[in-house]
Structure 1
Amino acid sequence: MRAVVVERYGPPSVARVVEVADPVARAGEVVVRVAAAAVTSGDARMRAARFPRGFALPARLGIGIRRPRRPVLGVALSGTVASIGAGVTGLAVGDEVAGMTGARLGAHAELVAVRVERLVRKPAGVTHDEAAAVLFGGCTALHYLEDVVPVRAGRSVLVLGASGAVGSSAVQLARMAGARVTGVTSGRNAELVRRLGAERVIDYTVTPVAQISGPFDVVVDTVGAVSTPAGRALLSDDGSLVLVLASLWQVITARGRVKAGVSGSRPEHMARLLALVASGELHPVIQESMPLDEIARAYAIVDSGRKVGNVVVRP
């Protein structure tokens, strides 16, 4: 099969499409023929060994000192069941599924073996591009805004990085919960963020983040734009600061009203997100979908820091 391999850390050009052996479904696994896979900020950080402050050493110890131990990156995918391992029930060859591979990665390929519990059925009304796009940012946003800091109707929510993969989902999920949403983005993406449900949009090129005044009941920083003290200063008396992209020190010291740490990808969250897309309540923002051969260009878009929503490749 064709797959994108990253054999050394570096710029987008280190990601190359080559022929590799097809995966085989082991017990409890499903091999999925990938129709679409997201190229996320997490993928880009692993490709470049560019991690939030303090995480460089632990991240390299986890994924590889000199190069990624798993050279085929990619986590969020949508496709069709190609084969089934022993002990798998409830799925058949040809079923359309979507999911996240977790630490095993491997989604940037024509075929990938995935643990069955990491997959959910893709609704017929959702395209493969939409399914692959919604999962990474959507699961992160749902984890923080439902499990960690439940957002309720009438609450005020500030989303920093409102036009990104996590931010665009956070704006919509907070609005669906009945919150009053303020989105921070560049002026060129302001209208998009309004369409997603923000009552107010702040152009950070005109009003720097340091000049934003609160209070807000929830501040969601998806891009590492505020320090912990600056984020706290934006909060109401019972408000919460959510640091999606946090330094190691911020994670270690997060307590009380400050929330940080790894988000999960629970099957029930994935199924819920896909159902919301199918019903038209949630709109995955996709900047561009492109062939797998254009993976370096996809990474360049992510590396630019100006990605709007999601970038998807089609193996």
Structure 2
Amino acid sequence: MPPNRASWLMAKQALNSIVDVAPYTIPSANELVIKTKAVAVNPADVGIQKLGILLNDYPAILGCDVAGDVVEVHPTLAEVYTPGDRVIGAASPLKRKDGKYCYSAFQEYVVLKTPSIAKIPNGVAYEDAVVLPLGINTAASCLFAESTLGLEVPSIDGLRSRRGKTLLVWGASSSVGACGVQMATHAGYEVVGVASKRNHEMVKGLGASVCFDQSDSTLVDDIVTYLSGKEVVGAYGAIASDSALNAMCEILDRCGGRKLVASVIPGAEQKATKGVQIVTNFTSDIGKSEVGKAIWKWLTIAMAEDWIKYMPQSEVVGEGLQRIQEAIDLLAEGVSAKKLVVSI
């Protein structure tokens, strides 16, 4: 087995990670191992390190987005993947095998599990493709799971049958928001986005019909006016903001559509107002669901057929496991409409 190294967080809320050896893990059924070529950092990584949320077992390896080359394939996947394939995958520090953080992204060799794997087309850089995995899974779990909004998934034939239904996406220029805009649009829904004004063209380029300025004093009234007469299927809260939750509840209450918000904020259910229900994506394990299988099947085709855009645009912070801490610190300071990436 090849030697492995990882970016380790040695204790809860440790200020800095260190690079050290890590075990190499042989894949089990429906798994493969990749040699990491690029990783992206996410708010979850910031939350785990800076706030001490989600994880209790340390030392730990973080990271949810990874791209690389397949090096070992379990026989159950031998007809689909071969060593040398370029893939992206949704990694997870929340899952372990025999106590090992083998599914976490911030290491040289990562175990990935189906269905959350997709081949990278020729001509697409690892650093661009790696912006998608967590965003795809998070958005899919909010939009398509039965326990959340339960929308229809995109068709693998590429047809966008207009459903005559409208979805509100708040935080549409974020990573999970951008993926949600694209998937909902491909599934045939009209998307109404909310984002900073400087990101409106990006959001509309992803498929949104219109995008409203999140800082506009008349924002709620303007959205209610736009949604008048439309069949609203609910709202997707793609950013961690209590004020956004309040605004979405007011909008859905006033526009007369479906009174349901799917949020990425843990515990958001307790913040519902005006008779609007809030659910979170934590009720759905997309990696084990039929929705997950359908979305990653669609994503593989969407990437191959160039239907999907690799957005938000990647910004490469540097190269090597030792640069991951810098990327996490930069994300903690705040970024807009871009995703911080480290080449490995």
Same fold (TM over 0.5): yes
Once the two structures are overlaid, the 10-residue window that deviates more, 114-123 or 233-242, is 114-123
Aligned-partner Cα distance in 1 for 2:116–2:183: 22
Residue 25 of structure 1 and its aligned partner are, at CA, apart by 1.0
Task: Classify the secondary structure of the residue corresponding to 2:167.
Answer: strand
Identity of aligned residues (%): 23
TM-score, with structure 1 as normaliser = 0.80
1:277 partnered with 2:294: no
* Bigger relative contact order, structure 1 or 2 (CA pairs below 8 A, ≥6 apart): 1
Matches within 5 A, 1:82-231: 82-84=71-73, 89-90=78-79, 91-102=81-92, 103-104=95-96, 105-115=103-113, 118-124=116-122, 126-147=124-145, 148-150=149-151, 153-207=163-217, 213-214=223-224, 215=227, 216-225=232-241, 226=243, 230-231=247-248
Letter in 2 for 1:221: G
Residue 202 of structure 1 and its aligned partner are, at CA, apart by 1.6
State the partner residue of 1:56. none
Once the two structures are overlaid, the 10-residue window that deviates more, 242-251 or 207-216, is 207-216
Once the two structures are overlaid, the 10-residue window that deviates more, 283-292 or 228-237, is 228-237
Match of 1:5 among 2, 8, 12: 8
Residue 33 of structure 1 and its aligned partner are, at CA, apart by 0.1
Any stretches of 5+ residues in structure 1 without a counterpart? Answer: 52-58
Number of equivalences: 300
Once the two structures are overlaid, the 10-residue window that deviates more, 284-293 or 242-251, is 242-251
Once the two structures are overlaid, the 10-residue window that deviates more, 181-190 or 235-244, is 235-244
CA gap 1:228/1:194 in 2 versus in 1, 3 angstroms: closer
Residue 116 of structure 1 and its aligned partner are, at CA, apart by 5.7
State the partner residue of 1:45. 47
Once the two structures are overlaid, the 10-residue window that deviates more, 95-104 or 280-289, is 95-104
Residue 221 of structure 1 and its aligned partner are, at CA, apart by 0.9
Task: Classify the secondary structure of the residue corresponding to 2:256.
Answer: strand
1:261 partnered with 2:259: no
CA gap 1:229/1:40 in 2 versus in 1, 3 angstroms: closer
Whether the 8 Å CA contact 1:277–1:284 is kept in 2: the answer is no
Deviations 1:265-307 (A, max 9, x none): 4344223223213322211212312323322332133223433
State the partner residue of 2:158. none
Deviations 1:94-130 (A, max 9, x none): 2223222332342112212334655344444543233
Whether the 8 Å CA contact 1:171–1:196 is kept in 2: the answer is yes
Aligned-partner Cα distance in 2 for 1:10–1:211: 41
Once the two structures are overlaid, the 10-residue window that deviates more, 73-82 or 208-217, is 208-217
State the partner residue of 1:78. 67
CA gap 1:211/1:313 in 2 versus in 1, 3 angstroms: farther
CA gap 1:175/1:139 in 2 versus in 1, 3 angstroms: same
1:308 partnered with 2:337: yes
Whether the 8 Å CA contact 2:170–2:239 is kept in 1: the answer is yes
CA gap 1:201/1:142 in 2 versus in 1, 3 angstroms: same
Aligned-partner Cα distance in 2 for 1:227–1:202: 13
TM-score, with structure 2 as normaliser = 0.74
Once the two structures are overlaid, the 10-residue window that deviates more, 248-257 or 206-215, is 248-257
User: Cα RMSD (Å) of the superposition?
Assistant: 3.1
